[in-house]
Amino acid sequence: MLKSSWIVFKKDVKIEMKSRVLAFQVLPLAGAVLIIFGFALGPDNQVLSRAAPGLVWITILLVSLLAVTRSIAIEDEIGADGIRLFGIDPGGLYLGKTMAATIQVFLIGVVIIFSSAAIFNSGFSDILSILAMVLGGFLAVGALCSAGILFGMMSLASNVRETLLPLLFLPVAAPVVLAATKVSVPALGGSKASILEWLGVLAVLFIAYLSVGTVVSESLLEEN
């Protein structure tokens, strides 16, 4: 499974490097969303900096959803039949796609966080809080992509994937976004209370979603 996940990971990264859909379409969209939020909240610095962590994570949630949809659309090019006929291990496919999506969304997330500091005028606090936010960000993005790719694989053969995927994805993404927002508050100038607890919540969610996805994905493609 690990070998095939590595092959799938390399293929997905190569496709993104050639198509640059996430870099040239999703990243500018995320920037536009942040700017619109900024205009909507008005020029009050206090309001902007208080809202920044939540708005950043809503934007990253949107990016994750688009990245997962794109990742599954790539597989739709060969279809569930193609995946089964070429003997692609479903667990390896799931892990490879999750790894690739996580790294891509995480990199976009880093750009979003730094852009938000400028747009919302929130600035950064101490280095430890920033490190906690980076670690929490990785765990959160990993959890979002683990759940998203699983639901994406479930809806691979469905002709209502575009609407089904967000419907399945958003309820399980809600606790991740909540915890990630709490972890980001100190780094963006807020209170440092209970940051470790929220990091723990993110780690549990990431491990739980990834484990369930790896186990469940084995039977998904046969059922498709």
Partner 1 sequence: MPETIALKNVISLVGDYPVLAGINFDAKNGEIILLRGSNGSGKTSLLRLIAGLIPVSRGNASVLGISLDGSSGNQIRSEIGYLGHKLPIYYDLSGQDNIKYFLSIRLSQSEIPKTSEKNGNDYLKEITNEALALVGLSVKLGKEKAGNLSHGQKKRLALAPILWSKPRILLLDEPHSGLDEISRGVLDQLVLDAANKGATVIYASHEHGANQRHVTRVISLAGGRVVEDKPNA
Kindly list the residues in this chain that would bind partner 1 in the complex (CB under 8 A).
3-4, 7, 11, 14-15, 18-19, 74, 77-79, 81-82, 84-88, 222
Cβ proximity to partner 1, 7 vs 33, nearer residue: 7
Whats the size of the chain, residue-wise?
224
190-220 in b/e form (b: 16+ CB < 10 A) is beeeebeebbebbbebbeebbeebbeebeeb
Q: Which is nearer to partner 1, 84 or 167 (CB)?
A: 84
Output the CA torsion 81→87→93→95 (10° steps): 150
C-beta closer to partner 1: residue 17 or 40: 17
Choose between 59 and 214: whose C-beta lies nearer to partner 1.
214
CB of 198 to partner 1, least distance (A): 38
Query: Distance between CA 72 and CA 98 in Å, rounded?
Result: 11
Q: Find the shortest distance in angstroms from Cβ 155 to partner 1.
A: 17
Smallest gap from Cβ 11 to partner 1, in A, equals: 5
Please give the backbone phi and psi of residue 105, each rounded to the nearest 5 degrees, phi first: -70, -35
- Whole-number minimum distance, CB 121 to partner 1, in Å? 39
How far apart are CB 93 and partner 1 at their closest, in Å?
A: 9
User: Of the two residues 11 and 192, which places its CB atom closer to partner 1 in the complex?
Assistant: 11
Are the C-beta atoms of 2 and 89 separated by less than 8 Å? no
